[in-house]
Chains A and B, each alone.
Chain A
């Protein structure tokens, strides 16, 4: 009977302490957060090319932005072309341009690439490599344009800043007037060029 009394006393004390615990006043603040980091990314949006044909029936020169059916059984013979192809591999983004059998024409034979800035952080553009073989250097023309929503507007590439969704275009061609002026000296030339367009966040320097 004494043991039962002790057990009861212990239960009462235990319940008492529990009562104290529940009797406290309290309040709380919860802090939640979501984090999104920005991005710096330039992508190859499009390329375009030019094909030059001779119509052997009329002798007319035909320039086209798309390849046309030509050769035996047609009136057209392919004479020259300027092509641009997205040759990216893995993480390396690359465009390969090929200018074949170029000669003086009224309109230049152009290949171009459109770059799309899809990063969320504004960036600075830097040409970290801009090499042209000596043989073709006098004739090679490279012109940059920015899309203003309605038209392509000429721009300088150095110090240019890009923001999300900006479009940047590079036209490459051989200057027909210089080819014409140099005559035989401009014939049979071969050469390569490389440009590396580097973009980095606008508020830092590489």
Chain B
């Protein structure tokens, strides 16, 4: 009986302190927020062989894409791919010196931030060819520059000229057409498939 009494006393005291706690006045403000960051996405959405200049129909050019970035959900250009891709892979088969190849490729913006195209990088995944700029870049060159291969002191194996107004600004769903004009030079190897990757570089327009 004494224990029950003590328990009751403890409860009363506890309720009493609770009463003090709730006895104060208060007010409150709620601040809620949602955050979405933008995206800067630039991809190659279409490529086609425009011209293959050769006397006999021996050389072939394969075009393929690697690393999809995002769906290309825009109406143009005609026959565009379903995705925008990070890389265009160009494979030259059974080539020979003096072969001319003209490839058109289309670069599209699939990001929400306007993008400024600053250049095009060409690399050879097999490391057979080292692509260098004719002019040392402060930044990756865009149009009108030539690339060549191997030791700059030696004769190039392949030269590539980039045509079209590639270095432009694109908004979501905008695209621009560019050209790769490829010339196979005299030092090219026999019975060898030359392959290189084309990647377009961009940065947000405001920088």
**B58 contacts the other chain (CB 8 A):** no
Q: Is the interface of A mostly helix, strand, loop or mixed?
A: strand
Contact present for B32 and A79 (CB under 8 Å)? no
Q: How far is the CA of A42 from the CA of B27 in the complex (A)?
A: 6
Interface string of A29-65 (1 = CB under 8 A from B): 0000000001111101000000000100001010000
Please encode chain A, from 181 to 206, with 1 for each CB lying within 8 Å of some chain B CB and 0 for all others: 00010111111111111111100111
Identify the closest chain B residue to A180 (Cβ). B207
Q: How far is the CB of A99 from chain B (nearest CB, A)?
A: 4
Q: What number of A residues sit within 8 Å (CB to CB) of B?
A: 61
Q: Are A192 and B34 in contact (CB under 8 A)?
A: yes
Structural contact, B33 and A204, CB atoms closer than 8 A: no
Contacts of B6-58 to chain A: CB distance below 8 A? 20-21, 23-41
Asked if B32 contacts A192 (CB within 8 A), the reply is yes
Report A-chain residues with C-beta under 8 Å of the C-beta of B80: none
Determine the distance from Cα of A128 to Cα of B26 in the docked complex, in whole angstroms: 12
Pair B38/A102 contact, Cβ less than 8 Å: yes
A95 to B28, CA, bound (A): 12
Shortest C-beta distance, A205 to chain B (Å), equals 7
Given contacts A79-B114, A101-B113, A105-B206, A190 and B29 within 8 Å (CB-CB): no
A155 close to chain B: CB less than 8 A: no
> Is the beta-carbon distance between A170 and B31 smaller than 8 angstroms?
yes
Known A-B contacts A54-B205, A59-B205, A104-B204; the reply to A199 vs B27 at CB < 8 A is: yes
Please state if B28 and A128 are interface contacts (CB–CB under 8 Å). Answer: yes
Give the Cβ gap from A117 to chain B, nearest Cβ, in Å. 9
Task: Decide yes or no whether B159 CB sits under 8 A from chain A.
Answer: no
Cβ of A8 under 8 Å from chain B: no
Question: Which of A102-159 touch B at CB < 8 Å?
Answer: 102-105, 111, 113, 115, 119, 121, 123, 128-129, 136, 139-140
In the assembled complex, 6 residue pairs joining A and B whose CB atoms fall closer than 8 Å, in A order, are A94-B30, A97-B32, A101-B112, A198-B27, A206-B21, A206-B24
Interface on A for B, CB 8 Å cutoff? 38-42, 44, 54, 59, 61, 77, 79-80, 92-105, 111, 113, 115, 119, 121, 123, 128-129, 136, 139-140, 170, 172, 174, 179, 184, 186-201, 204-206
